[in-house]
Amino acid sequence: MTRRQFRSKLRELMKENNKAIAEKMEKAIKEGGLCLSGAENNFVLPKMFMTVVCKYTSDQWCPLYIDKRIASEMNNIKHTI
């Protein structure tokens, strides 16, 4: 894969992810998962929400089978970001 191809694919995933985050935010507000009225006007609640969404997304996107090669590549990425 070229750098250009990687960037293109990553931008596509980011666009999809932004849409999914917005949908999950609306769902959490509608179903009472986010208590906006009791939250202070700072970044604590948005950061908590993003932490949960990122963990959920990680579980959804993780390869079904992680062999040693995939685990090694994921570990390398983890240590370089």
The predicted model scores a pTM of: 0.76
For the record, the structure tokens of 8 come out as 């293109």
Domain boundaries, the chain: 3-80
Percent of the chain with pLDDT over 90: 68
Averaged pLDDT score across all residues of the chain: 91
Is 9 a residue whose pLDDT tops 90?
yes
What is the per-residue pLDDT across 23-62, written as a single tens digit (0 to 9) for each?
Answer: 999 999 999 998 899 899 999 999 999 999 999 988 888 8
Rounded CA-CA distance 2/13 in Å is 17
So what's the pLDDT on residue 35? 87
SS (H, E, C) the chain: CCHHHHHHHHHHHHHHHHHHHHHHHHHHHHCCCCCCCCCCCCCHHHHHHHHHHHHHHHHHHCCCCCCHHHHHHHHHHHHHC
Is 63 a residue whose pLDDT tops 80?
no
Neighbours of 50 (CB within 10 A): 13
